[in-house]
A and B are shown apart, each in its own frame.
Chain A
Amino acid sequence: MEEKTLEEIIARYDSPTGKVLGILGDIQRSEGYIPRETLEMLSVKIDVRISQLYSIVTFYSFFSLKPVGEHVITICMGTACHVRGAVGVLDALESLLDIHGDTTEDGKFSVTTKDNKFTVEIARCFGACSMAPVLQIDGTLYGYANPDTLPAILEQYGWRAA
């Protein structure tokens, strides 16, 4: 991220209330993750220890230090979705994309396909429980997801069956 862009983001927050998470959220949304250099630049600009910022970024699920692929698929694993088969949807998704995800030692779940086209992550609840199971791709929600409807959805994002 360019220094000027970061300064513009920082300038949106005129009060310490909600500032740090707000700035980090804007960076995450803009870049898809938090680049290390941006975090270090931010530490200097807002005078907060890098250890504190790193602690925050690793604590909250919303932030990622790893770059993501072209498209980010987030599967909801909330209660309503779990009860309606979200685990099966995740398994089917991993099978179609030929990836295997697991919670890593930082407690987060994020796995990217070898060709860097898709990153699969997990969310705790989008609040669209009435159409469980739910998945989100690049910010668009898809309700009533099931293994059979997945290929058609993925194809819209450039996936092709092997």
Chain B
Amino acid sequence: MTGVFDRAAGEVAGQKKILPGKPRIAVGLATCGIAVGGEKVYERLQEIIKKTDADISLTKTGCIGYCREEPLVNITIPGKPLVILHKVTEEDAEGIVEAVKKGTVPYKKALCRVPSWDHVTGTVITYGNGFDEIPLYADVPFFKHQKKVILRNAGFINPEDIDEYLAVGGYATAEQALTRMDSETIISEVEKSGLRGRGGAGFPTGMKWRITRDAPGAAKYIICNADEGDPGAYMNRNEMESDPHMLIEGMIIGAYAMGAKKGLIYIRAEYPLAIRRLVHAIGEARALGLLGKNIIGAGFDFDIRIATGAGAFVCGESTALVASIEGRTGRPHPRPPRLTDPGGGLWGIPSDLNNVETWCNIPVIIRNGSGWYAKIGAEKNAGTKVFSLVGKVDRVGLVEVPLGTSLNTIVCDIGNGGAQGKKVKAVQTGGPSGGCIPVRLFDTPVNYESLNAVGSIMGSGGIVVMDEDTDMVDIARYFINFATGESCGKCVPCREGLRHTLILLNRLIARKGTAKDLETLALLADTIKNTSLCGLGQSAPNPVLTTLAYFREEYDALVKP
């Protein structure tokens, strides 16, 4: 049953929740917050608030991205800046409630203060002034160089309450698009914005939308790739757990522009919390008339279904993803036909496939205009990108920067270099499909072309930092082992080629390899890259090729003289 869409009521209700006129405590409860005890903090706070009969609103929020500092807790005292507490434990709960009751916060646990926050979709929430001894959000080294566009709401709103999403401008853009814009205008805006696919391939999104819309036949599907298989990458997980509605809003706008009545989110099974929050958000959207029949009263029908993966990295490849949804094994098939061709998409119907993060950019582009978006980032690389900065780096977390920002800025300024004072040696970008980039190339700007030029790829945004203790040949073997285990096994270069690449690497690491083996390794890598059927095989050799290029001495050291 589709409800009747009424933004206003929910928006007002949401505003009252974000600024309730009394203290509000919001505990960061995305997967990493929960993994380090966030739920226990929440329960303890709840207990104490009840016991002391405190007039405090307690809620949950998502993750602002400073994962190293989890559990994070936000405190909003009326008239005062929002304060973010870090590394909060159950034991701190009592002190927090006590302080809040007195109209203040426990300074020792404070990370930073936020006098006001721009939610980028037309709403600025002003919290207040005071607490001047606590550093400003903009001065915190981890946050200083970041620009929040995609993670505009993460860590501030309750992801399980659509009212709060409405309160920060949510769904106003969908309303605008469906009632006052037409398909051509929307697609043209997306094209002019310069948005490129954030799943890694970097294909111009507007162009893909146009091709889908213009494909023969009235039936179309839109699909969200939420498989996020790259180990070390969890941007999409946070985007879905902290702000599920922005994904839904992006898909509503896209569906309308492309004429699709059905949308699908293909999400990996290893993300149960993201699945739960999406299911809940879809239910809320339906109840409010945003999904179903005649959505937003605009005479357009659209609904979203969720399909889960089952542990296969290869299902991030578009034809394998579709096979998986259709109830088959995830074995890619050759193109043509492409997904957007008749006969090529889901159930043979032309389908548009975009990554979670691509969809999340749509509301801000349509709201603020293509011109605004195109000014962010670099030439041919518009916008921001969320990266997961993990591994042997000091400040671990999710980093959102304009494209074109250098690796130096990300790893050294934001990440503060190696953990425990070790020297950084390299980063791996783009997951198992990417390459290792040595520290001497850290002035490389992070954009699609520059990363390709040094032998790596942008991928979905994982940046794994390696330090002076990391053995690069071991890393190459790790990735080949990964690719071997995830290969679908259909084509010979990937199945057999990777099998023998692993045998060679193991032989080398056991110090039984020869110089001839190194030659064969390079030749195998080249063959697999150029003859494999799909992107998995074509990019699996990248870690080997880049470590051979940049860390040859580590290979030579293993070879018998």
Q: Establish whether A and B are touching in the complex (CB under 8 Å).
A: yes
10 cross-chain CB contacts under 8 A? A15-B305, A18-B306, A19-B327, A21-B324, A25-B308, A56-B327, A56-B329, A79-B431, A127-B271, A130-B234
Say yes or no for A123: interface residue by CB 8 A criterion: yes
Contact at B325–A127, with CB atoms within 8 Å?
Answer: no
Interface residues of B in 321-344 (CB under 8 A from A): 324-330
Contact at A78–B232, with CB atoms within 8 Å?
Answer: yes
Which chain A residue shows the least CB distance to B486?
A124
Q: Given B229, B264, B431, B479, which contacts A18 in the complex, CB threshold below 8 Å?
A: B264
Say yes or no for B464: interface residue by CB 8 A criterion: yes
Contact at A128–B234, with CB atoms within 8 Å?
Answer: yes
CB distance from A149 to the nearest CB of B (A): 13
Q: Given B32, B270, B306, B347, which contacts A125 in the complex, CB threshold below 8 Å?
A: B270
Q: Count of A residues near B, CB < 8 Å?
A: 46
User: Could you give, for residues 121-148 of chain A, a 1 whenever the CB lies within 8 Å of some chain B CB and a 0 otherwise?
Assistant: 0011111111110100001011110000
How many angstroms between the C-alpha atoms of A22 and B264 in the bound complex? 14
Tell which of B9-17, B84-92, B389-397, B544-552 binds the partner.
B389-397
Q: Given B327, B391, B396, B485, which contacts A79 in the complex, CB threshold below 8 Å?
A: B391
Tell which of B41-49, B103-111, B309-317, B364-372 binds the partner.
B309-317
Contact at A61–B311, with CB atoms within 8 Å?
Answer: yes
CB distance from A51 to the nearest CB of B (A): 12
Say yes or no for A158: interface residue by CB 8 A criterion: no
Contact at A130–B32, with CB atoms within 8 Å?
Answer: yes
Say yes or no for B428: interface residue by CB 8 A criterion: yes
Say yes or no for A59: interface residue by CB 8 A criterion: yes
Which residues does chain B contribute within 8 Å of A125, judged by CB atoms?
Answer: 229-234, 270
Contact at B312–A16, with CB atoms within 8 Å?
Answer: no
Which residues does chain B contribute within 8 Å of A80, judged by CB atoms?
Answer: 231-232, 390-391, 464
Q: Given B36, B233, B330, B390, which contacts A143 in the complex, CB threshold below 8 Å?
A: B36
Say yes or no for B189: interface residue by CB 8 A criterion: no
Say yes or no for B482: interface residue by CB 8 A criterion: yes
CB distance from B406 to the nearest CB of A (A): 22
Say yes or no for B497: interface residue by CB 8 A criterion: no
User: Could you give, for residues 77-119 of chain A, a 1 whenever the CB lies within 8 Å of some chain B CB and a 0 otherwise?
Assistant: 1111111100000000000000000010001000000000000
Q: Given A16, A25, A48, A143, which contacts B35 in the complex, CB threshold below 8 Å?
A: A143
Q: Given A61-B312, A76-B231, 10 more contacts at CB 8 Å?
A: A20-B328, A61-B311, A79-B231, A79-B478, A80-B232, A83-B465, A83-B466, A83-B470, A127-B228, A131-B36
Q: Given B311, B325, B392, which contacts A62 in the complex, CB threshold below 8 Å?
A: B311
Which residues does chain A contribute within 8 Å of B228, judged by CB atoms?
Answer: 127
How many angstroms between the C-alpha atoms of A71 and B138 in the bound complex? 45
CB distance from B320 to the nearest CB of A (A): 11
Q: How large is the interface on B (under 10, 10 to 19, 20 to 34, 35 or more residues)?
A: 35 or more
Which chain A residue shows the least CB distance to B330?
A59
Which residues does chain A contribute within 8 Å of B328, judged by CB atoms?
Answer: 20, 52, 56
Say yes or no for B70: interface residue by CB 8 A criterion: yes
Contact at A55–B34, with CB atoms within 8 Å?
Answer: no
How many angstroms between the C-alpha atoms of A162 and B310 in the bound complex? 36
Contact at B35–A24, with CB atoms within 8 Å?
Answer: no
Contact at B230–A84, with CB atoms within 8 Å?
Answer: no
Contact at A17–B264, with CB atoms within 8 Å?
Answer: yes
CB distance from B127 to the nearest CB of A (A): 27
Contact at A82–B478, with CB atoms within 8 Å?
Answer: yes
From known contacts A16-B327, A79-B431, infer whether A129 and B234 are also in contact, taking CB-CB under 8 Å.
yes
How many angstroms between the C-alpha atoms of A63 and B68 in the bound complex? 32
Select the residue from A81, A129, A141 with max chain B CB neighbours within 10 A. A129
Interface residues of B in 63-94 (CB under 8 A from A): 67-68, 70
Which chain A residue shows the least CB distance to B485?
A107
Contact at B327–A55, with CB atoms within 8 Å?
Answer: no
Contact at B482–A124, with CB atoms within 8 Å?
Answer: yes
CB distance from A141 to the nearest CB of B (A): 4
Select the residue from A17, A18, A127 with max chain B CB neighbours within 10 A. A127
Q: Given B229, B307, B397, which contacts A124 in the complex, CB threshold below 8 Å?
A: B229
How many angstroms between the C-alpha atoms of A126 and B305 in the bound complex? 23
CB distance from B220 to the nearest CB of A (A): 14
Say yes or no for B296: interface residue by CB 8 A criterion: no
Which chain B residue shows the least CB distance to A129?
B390
Contact at B32–A18, with CB atoms within 8 Å?
Answer: no
Say yes or no for B363: interface residue by CB 8 A criterion: no
Which residues does chain A contribute within 8 Å of B410, judged by CB atoms?
Answer: none
Interface residues of A in 19-42 (CB under 8 A from B): 19-22, 24-25
Q: Which 9 A-B pairs have the closest CB atoms?
A: A18-B307, A78-B231, A130-B67, A20-B327, A61-B311, A127-B234, A60-B310, A62-B311, A62-B310
Which residues does chain B contribute within 8 Å of A18, judged by CB atoms?
Answer: 264, 266, 305-308, 325, 327
Which residues does chain A contribute within 8 Å of B346, judged by CB atoms?
Answer: 17
Say yes or no for B60: interface residue by CB 8 A criterion: no
From known contacts A21-B324, A124-B311, A125-B270, infer whether A83 and B231 are also in contact, taking CB-CB under 8 Å.
no
Which residues does chain A contribute within 8 Å of B152, judged by CB atoms?
Answer: none
Q: Given B305, B464, B475, which contacts A17 in the complex, CB threshold below 8 Å?
A: B305
Say yes or no for B207: interface residue by CB 8 A criterion: no
Select the residue from B34, B272, B310 with max chain A CB neighbours within 10 A. B310
How many angstroms between the C-alpha atoms of A134 and B237 in the bound complex? 16
Q: Given B307, B470, B479, B482, which contacts A21 in the complex, CB threshold below 8 Å?
A: B307
How many angstroms between the C-alpha atoms of A59 and B313 in the bound complex? 11
How many angstroms between the C-alpha atoms of A124 and B313 in the bound complex? 9
Say yes or no for B31: interface residue by CB 8 A criterion: yes
Which residues does chain B contribute within 8 Å of A61, judged by CB atoms?
Answer: 310-312
CB distance from B331 to the nearest CB of A (A): 8
Say yes or no for B269: interface residue by CB 8 A criterion: yes
Which residues does chain A contribute within 8 Å of B237, judged by CB atoms?
Answer: 127
How many angstroms between the C-alpha atoms of A80 and B233 in the bound complex? 9
Q: Given A21, A56, A77, A126, which contacts B270 in the complex, CB threshold below 8 Å?
A: A126
Contact at B392–A83, with CB atoms within 8 Å?
Answer: yes
Which residues does chain A contribute within 8 Å of B212, judged by CB atoms?
Answer: none
Interface residues of B in 293-312 (CB under 8 A from A): 305-312
Contact at B312–A59, with CB atoms within 8 Å?
Answer: yes
How many angstroms between the C-alpha atoms of A17 and B308 in the bound complex? 10
How many angstroms between the C-alpha atoms of A126 and B269 in the bound complex? 10
How many angstroms between the C-alpha atoms of A79 and B393 in the bound complex? 13
Contact at A127–B431, with CB atoms within 8 Å?
Answer: no
Say yes or no for B121: interface residue by CB 8 A criterion: no
User: Could you give, for residues 439-474 of chain B, a 1 whenever the CB lies within 8 Å of some chain A CB and a 0 otherwise?
Assistant: 000000000000000000000001011100010000
